[in-house]
Amino acid sequence: MAENLDRRLKGSESIALVVRGPRQPVTKPLKSVRQVVSVQAKSDGRPGSGEVQAFTVETEMGADIREAPASVVVNAGFGLLELRPAHLSLEEIFLQLTTSDSASESDAEAAA
């Protein structure tokens, strides 16, 4: 149930990757994958990890493209350390629900 709520809130699927390689050169091939909507990068936060980056790849709804990002990362010469489905945390779900409810109420009040 939480997984379905996660998909409905985001309107897309998400894949989390951890890659050994510089951010920009890894981001570019990930963005070129068919059905990828966006790529967000951040340091993985591990001390001494150097060039290890964590990425969240958003894809079109219903698209299971896990093989393609793995392939482009490895073929570009980077180390694929992790690939898994990414899900919103309960806090992120709560914020999206309350933010969209507040925005809807504001729109309704402005129209009245």
State the CATH number of the domain containing residue 35.
3.30.70.260
pLDDT 10s per residue in the chain (112 long)? 455 555 455 556 888 999 999 999 999 999 999 999 899 887 655 555 568 999 999 888 877 888 999 999 999 999 999 999 887 666 666 776 787 655 555 555 555 5
List the domain range (segments joined by +) for residue 51.
Answer: 2-111
Task: Kindly give, in sequence order, each residue whose CB lies less than 8 Å from that of residue 24, ignoring residues fewer than 6 positions away.
Answer: none
Q: Is the pTM of this model over 0.75?
A: no
Q: In what order do the strands lie in the sheet with 13-20?
A: 36-43, 52-59, 13-20, 79-85
CB atoms closer than 10 angstroms to residue 61 = 12
CA atoms within 13 A on the CB side of 38: 7
Number of domains composing the chain: 1
Instruction: Give whole-number Cα distances, 98 to 67, 88, 91, 102, in Å.
Output: 35, 15, 11, 6
